[in-house]
């Protein structure tokens, strides 16, 4: 006589012992924590969103635009180039008279995960005109010149002149090493390097103050576009100041073997004599 359970396959009844999947609501807190940690890492080392507070970069950037800023490349020693739009820390009380808004809870949360800048951050956004070694000058209403080359600036706000005929608007400066000369695209509404020449940094922005390069307008959707370097900054001869030293350096290198050969020849002649 066969026992009633003899034909039962092994493993029958294990189904009830298998673990049931955890409800989604129990995993949700962990997912939120992971998302916040990732957002914090991205904000700190990779990309951060910034809101445009003023019209100093019109019409390239409008008030309340959101731009994404590349914070990664500076970690690898990359320095800003002419024509780039950069976000940088206030170098010397440029925003001293600007009021600091009081953020609400939502703004604080968005700031924490990088979707908005902190309300107490003193950051500015301008276009790089000159880098270390460049000579930048403005005479009359323009054009603006870098290393003697006039810039074609279609991005300048309509109705503005490239150079301003006012105190600070007329200048000729030599940009020191590891410093930048920056200007807003809305030339007549931008308190940039031109108007801080009496400050401690003489209007120059230290490269170490740069947070990153703004590379795209991310919000609102109808304003989405990349922020590329204008063609005028790629014109030939703009690096004249840097390239002018190259022939001299090459000449010095080329002359060294000749001097060495001549010294050896004279030494040999003295020995023979």
Distance CA 137, CA 176 (A): 14
Q: Phi then psi for 220, rounded to 5 degrees? A: -70, 165
Structure tokens at 3: 């026992």
Question: Comparing C-alpha atoms, which of 98, 40, 52, 48 is closest to residue 70?
Answer: 48
Q: What is the CA radius of gyration of the chain?
A: 30
Q: Looking at the chain, how many residues does it have?
A: 273
Which residues are marked as active site? 56, 126
Give the angle 66-74-153 at the CA atoms, nearest 5°: 55
Structure tokens at 110: 């968005």
**Alpha helices (runs of H) in the chain, residue ranges in sequence order:** 24-41, 105-112, 240-243, 245-272
> Strand, helix or coil at 204?
coil
First-last CA distance in the chain: 128
Distance CA 62, CA 56 (A): 9
Structure tokens at 241: 């100041």
């Amino acid at each position: 006589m066969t026992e009633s359970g003899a034909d039962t396959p092994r493993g029958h009844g294990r189904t009830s012992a298998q673990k049931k999947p955890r409800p989604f609501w129990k995993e949700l807190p962990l997912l939120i924590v992971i998302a916040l940690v990732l957002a914090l890492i991205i904000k700190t080392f990779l990309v951060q969103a910034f809101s445009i507070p003023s019209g100093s970069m019109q019409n390239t950037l409008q008030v309340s635009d959101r731009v994404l800023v590349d914070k990664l490349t500076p970690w690898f020693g990359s320095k800003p180039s002419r024509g780039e739009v950069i976000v940088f820390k206030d170098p010397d009380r440029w925003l001293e008279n600007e009021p600091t808004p009081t953020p609400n809870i939502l703004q604080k949360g968005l700031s924490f995960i990088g979707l908005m800048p902190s309300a107490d951050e003193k950051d500015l956004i301008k276009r790089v005109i000159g880098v270390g070694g460049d000579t930048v000058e403005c005479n009359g209403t323009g054009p603006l010149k870098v290393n003697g080359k006039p810039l074609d600036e279609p991005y300048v706000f309509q109705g503005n002149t490239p150079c301003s005929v006012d105190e600070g608007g007329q200048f000729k400066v030599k940009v020191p090493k590891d410093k930048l000369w920056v200007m807003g695209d809305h030339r007549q509404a931008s308190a940039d390097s031109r108007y801080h020449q009496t400050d401690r940094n003489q209007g120059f922005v230290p490269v170490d103050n740069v947070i990153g390069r703004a590379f795209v307008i991310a919000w609102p959707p109808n304003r989405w576009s990349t922020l590329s370097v204008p063609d005028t900054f790629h014109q030939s001869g703009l690096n004249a100041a840097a390239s002018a030293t190259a022939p001299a350096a090459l000449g010095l290198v080329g002359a060294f073997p000749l001097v060495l050969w001549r010294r050896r020849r004279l030494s040999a002649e003295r020995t023979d004599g």
